[in-house]
Chain A
């Protein structure tokens, strides 16, 4: 489980996260839904230990990220907002080296590589260098890198951005399989259809805090809307409007 407890974060004078609290349970897909600038990427970077929260705690599998960032990274698979590929390495080399960086060796390494190659249909790409790959191919390799050490927790930052239909389908199928195997999956998105189709739980973020949480159907009911987009607008911008209106003149 990923537990985020009361974290705040400033960049200079700008506060991007305000007392943010939520959790992403094992065997569930949790979506962070928010507009650009809502704080989704900063939140995910704090969970991975790339950024430090000004206050609050983050635990991944009960390990404190601030205290033991390296231990946390062994439990995490991360697909960032860019794929982070190395164009002069073949897919096989790339995945082998990142699996070894995660401590995999010998038979376990070979098995893991075989697994991700089959699961993500990488056979045709296996011995090719990643230069010139399509967006879908890049995403598949990046996802394979995040999964090669079989992490208990998976974090994805806008994973379907720029993907074609087939690649998006493969990604969805993979995430649902991992969810069923008990992996805690947390992903950020602002694509309503993707959130609706994939997520068990949605966290609506606005101005650095969670303004709504629950299953997609529950959120729609809470916002008295018949689609997730209207519910999101009502929850995200409604609270902002109330806040602005509530301020003294």
Chain B
């Protein structure tokens, strides 16, 4: 501890102070970090409101043509989620282009055929190009199916048969998901987006402090100071990581602040994130922020120019999200201890767990964070070597 304190008061401290001042005075980088950090929580809040709107608008509007030929049908079909309008006439295509999701036409001889057990036809008109047609059709089919079963039961009962003969079992669907699990469904994208924030928030700074300094030749001035290369890499990493980490903290704060405004309860989701969980989220992202920063600096130092560095890092920021998506899609079981040691995967899993209000296993959190920090140390060593590369200097 004494050694670290002495180091921070000496040349290394001056170097770190220089890097921090440069980083936090870069308005462009700061603006970019703030914008992205606030953008996704706001989008998430907007998304949940949109979902609720969609949820409440899920009632189907049905136009029933020829309702007079089957006087009870409209009443039997009508429910909270199925609005039935009995119309005397109308063109199905025009009605579907208007306010109706479905048009059901009753044939003229329906009543007579029904009485004679001749299975009269019902014509269902749908517009399969409309986004709501599939859901509306399923909805009506369910209602008609239930009504059909009721009629069959009445008919067999009238003939002295037990209706159970036609129904060997009864299926009842019971949803066992907890509100916190349903919350996880909605908030599934949050861990990936928080990790992405680390990459995006620190991108401009990492390019500026490495490729930018090289292009402006101030890196050369820095390398002529009596400081070992690893200290230069560490100072730059800490400065870059600070902006990435603060960006992620800002995103977490915005997310937590916006949660009360989101209609989570209306969607059947209970907000389960605790204060301790929020603090843990911030802390567990710190080692990852360092790793992201040092990897970005390494790549930018290897690039040919400032623009080249920007391009390479833009690709890099998509990589982790792609990786996490691939792992999600491929249904790999990521909850095992060994997966939690893998940087990005571990952090994603812990964030997921914390978002649904469940505790993170301390051992895996510590072990995974240590592995991430170990990789940071390796990357710093590689970075110190990169600073000795002669082609790092401009015109030699």
Q: A: which residues have CB within 8 A of B?
A: 11, 16, 41-42, 45, 48-52, 70-71, 73-74, 76, 78, 80-86, 88-89, 93, 96-98, 100-103, 105, 145
Q: Which residues of B sit under 8 angstroms from A80, Cβ to Cβ?
A: 217, 220-221, 224
Q: Which of B1-37 contact A (CB under 8 A)?
A: 9-11, 13-15, 17-18, 21-22, 25-26
Q: Which residues of B sit under 8 angstroms from A101, Cβ to Cβ?
A: 11, 14-15, 18, 225-227
Contact assessment for A88 and B22 in the assembled complex, using a CB-CB cutoff below 8 Å: yes
Interface residue? B216 (CB, 8 A): yes
Q: Which residues of A sit under 8 angstroms from B22, Cβ to Cβ?
A: 86, 88-89
| A82/B217 contact (C-beta < 8 A), A51-B390, A73-B224, A76-B224 known | yes
Residue of B nearest to A100 (CB): B14
From A42, A45, A84, A100, contact of B221 by CB (8 A): A84
24 residue pairs bridging A and B, Cβ less than 8 Å apart: A11-B396, A45-B396, A50-B393, A52-B390, A70-B227, A70-B228, A71-B226, A73-B224, A81-B217, A82-B218, A83-B221, A86-B18, A89-B18, A97-B14, A97-B15, A100-B10, A100-B11, A100-B14, A101-B11, A101-B15, A101-B227, A102-B225, A103-B10, A145-B221
Interface residue? B276 (CB, 8 A): no
Give the size range of B's interface with the partner: 20 to 34
From B223, B226, B228, B396, contact of A102 by CB (8 A): B226
Q: Which of B310-336 contact A (CB under 8 A)?
A: none
| Chain A to chain B: the 9 pairs with minimum beta-carbon distance, closest first | A84-B221, A100-B14, A82-B217, A88-B25, A73-B226, A84-B218, A70-B226, A101-B225, A101-B11
Q: Per-residue 0/1 for B137-173: is the Cβ within 8 Å of any A Cβ (1 yes, 0 no)?
A: 0000000000000000000000000000000000000
Q: Which residues of A sit under 8 angstroms from B130, Cβ to Cβ?
A: none
| A102/B11 contact (C-beta < 8 A), A51-B393, A88-B26, A97-B17 known | yes
Residue of B nearest to A77 (CB): B224
From A11, A74, A82, A89, contact of B226 by CB (8 A): A74
Residue of B nearest to A89 (CB): B21
| A42/B21 contact (C-beta < 8 A), A82-B216, A101-B225 known | no
A51 to B21, CA, bound (A): 29
From A50, A73, A96, A98, contact of B220 by CB (8 A): A50
Q: Which of B67-95 contact A (CB under 8 A)?
A: none
A93 to B396, CA, bound (A): 30
Q: Which residues of A sit under 8 angstroms from B228, Cβ to Cβ?
A: 70
A86 to B209, CA, bound (A): 11
| A100/B393 contact (C-beta < 8 A), A73-B225, A81-B217, A88-B25 known | no
Contact assessment for A45 and B217 in the assembled complex, using a CB-CB cutoff below 8 Å: no
A16 to B396, CA, bound (A): 9
Q: Which residues of B sit under 8 angstroms from A49, Cβ to Cβ?
A: 224
Residue of A nearest to B16 (CB): A97
From B18, B25, B224, contact of A50 by CB (8 A): B224
A134 to B10, CA, bound (A): 32
| A48/B225 contact (C-beta < 8 A), A11-B396, A89-B18 known | no
Q: Which of B235-252 contact A (CB under 8 A)?
A: none
Residue of B nearest to A74 (CB): B226
Q: How far apart are B389's CB and chain A's nearest CB, in angstroms?
A: 11
Q: Which residues of B sit under 8 angstroms from A102, Cβ to Cβ?
A: 11, 225-226
From A41, A70, A85, contact of B218 by CB (8 A): A85
Interface residue? B363 (CB, 8 A): no
Contact assessment for A48 and B224 in the assembled complex, using a CB-CB cutoff below 8 Å: yes
A74 to B396, CA, bound (A): 23
A42 to B394, CA, bound (A): 11
Interface residue? B119 (CB, 8 A): no
Q: Which residues of A sit under 8 angstroms from B14, Cβ to Cβ?
A: 96-98, 100-101
Interface residue? B395 (CB, 8 A): yes
A52 to B226, CA, bound (A): 16
Q: Which residues of B sit under 8 angstroms from A11, Cβ to Cβ?
A: 390, 396
Q: Which residues of B sit under 8 angstroms from A71, Cβ to Cβ?
A: 226
Q: Which residues of A sit under 8 angstroms from B15, Cβ to Cβ?
A: 97, 101
A110 to B218, CA, bound (A): 24
Contact assessment for B21 and A84 in the assembled complex, using a CB-CB cutoff below 8 Å: no
From B17, B18, B226, B393, contact of A45 by CB (8 A): B393
Q: Which residues of B sit under 8 angstroms from A70, Cβ to Cβ?
A: 226-228
A100 to B21, CA, bound (A): 15
Most B-side CB within 10 Å, residue of A45, A84, A85:
A84
Residue of B nearest to A48 (CB): B224
Residue of B nearest to A71 (CB): B226
Q: Which residues of A sit under 8 angstroms from B393, Cβ to Cβ?
A: 45, 50-51
A101 to B15, CA, bound (A): 7
Contact assessment for B396 and A51 in the assembled complex, using a CB-CB cutoff below 8 Å: yes
A212 to B346, CA, bound (A): 66
Contact assessment for A42 and B224 in the assembled complex, using a CB-CB cutoff below 8 Å: no
Contact assessment for B226 and A97 in the assembled complex, using a CB-CB cutoff below 8 Å: no
Contact assessment for B11 and A88 in the assembled complex, using a CB-CB cutoff below 8 Å: no
Q: How far apart are A248's CB and chain B's nearest CB, in angstroms?
A: 32
Contact assessment for A88 and B218 in the assembled complex, using a CB-CB cutoff below 8 Å: no
A91 to B291, CA, bound (A): 33
Q: Which residues of A sit under 8 angstroms from B218, Cβ to Cβ?
A: 82, 84-86
A16 to B390, CA, bound (A): 14
Q: Which residues of A sit under 8 angstroms from B216, Cβ to Cβ?
A: 82, 84
Contact assessment for A84 and B225 in the assembled complex, using a CB-CB cutoff below 8 Å: no
Q: How far apart are A245's CB and chain B's nearest CB, in angstroms?
A: 30
Residue of B nearest to A98 (CB): B225
Q: How far apart are B362's CB and chain A's nearest CB, in angstroms?
A: 40
Q: Per-residue 0/1 for B199-218: is the Cβ within 8 Å of any A Cβ (1 yes, 0 no)?
A: 00000000000000000111
Q: Per-residue 0/1 for B369-396: is the Cβ within 8 Å of any A Cβ (1 yes, 0 no)?
A: 0000000000000000000001001011
Q: How far apart are A14's CB and chain B's nearest CB, in angstroms?
A: 10
Q: A42-B396, A102-B225 are in contact. List 8 more A-B contacts (CB 8 A).
A: A52-B390, A73-B225, A88-B25, A96-B14, A97-B14, A97-B15, A101-B226, A103-B226
